Amino acid sequence: MAKKNIILKNASWTFSGNVAKSFDSHITKSVPFYNKIHELGLDISDFFLQDNSKVLDIGCSTGSFIKKLEQKNKNKKLKIIAIDTEKQMISYAKKHSTNKANFFCKDYLKFKVQKQNLITSFFTIQFVHPSKRQIFFKKIYNDLLWGGGFLFFEKVRGNDARFNEIMNILYDEFKTKNGISATNILKKTRSLKGIMEPFSSRANYKMLKNAGFDDYMTIFKYLNFQGFLAIK
Q: Give me the sheet containing 116-122, strands edge to edge.
A: 101-105, 79-84, 54-58, 116-122, 144-155, 225-231, 215-222
**Alpha-carbon torsion 50, 53, 58, 61, what sign?**
positive
Structural domain contains residue 6: no
Does position 32 have pLDDT exceeding 80, yes or no?
yes
Kindly report the CATH number assigned to the domain that includes residue 67: 3.40.50.150
Query: Closest by alpha carbon to 196, among 142, 136, 154?
Result: 154
Is residue 165 domain-resident?
A: yes
| Cα four-point dihedral sign 41, 46, 48, 53 | positive
Farthest-apart Cα atoms in the chain, separation: 53
Q: Give me the DSSP letters along 71-116.
A: HHTTTS--EEEEEES-HHHHHHHHHHS-S-EEEEE--GGG-----E
Residue 157 located in a structural domain = yes
pLDDT in tens, 100-153: 799 999 999 999 999 999 999 999 999 999 999 999 999 999 999 999 999 999
Q: How far apart (Å, rounded) are the C-alpha atoms in residues 181 and 206?
A: 36
Q: Are 71 and 98 in contact (CB under 8 A)?
A: yes
Q: Which domain holds residue 219?
A: 19-231
Residue 25, pLDDT > 60, answer yes
| Domain assignment of residue 140, yes or no | yes
- Give the pLDDT confidence of 49-72 residue by residue, as tens digits: 999 999 999 999 999 999 999 999
Residue 39 within any structural domain of the chain:
yes
Residue 127 lies in a domain: yes
> What's the domain count of the chain?
1
pTM: predicted TM-score of the whole model, two decimal places: 0.88
Cβ-contact 6, 184 below 8 angstroms: yes
Instruction: Classify residue 164: in a domain, yes or no.
Output: yes
Which residues are CB-neighbours of 110 under 8 A, at least 6 positions away?
Answer: none
Whether 10 is covered by a domain: the verdict is no
Per-residue model confidence as pLDDT tens digits over 178-189: 887 777 767 766
CA angle 174–188–176, rounded 5-degree value:
20
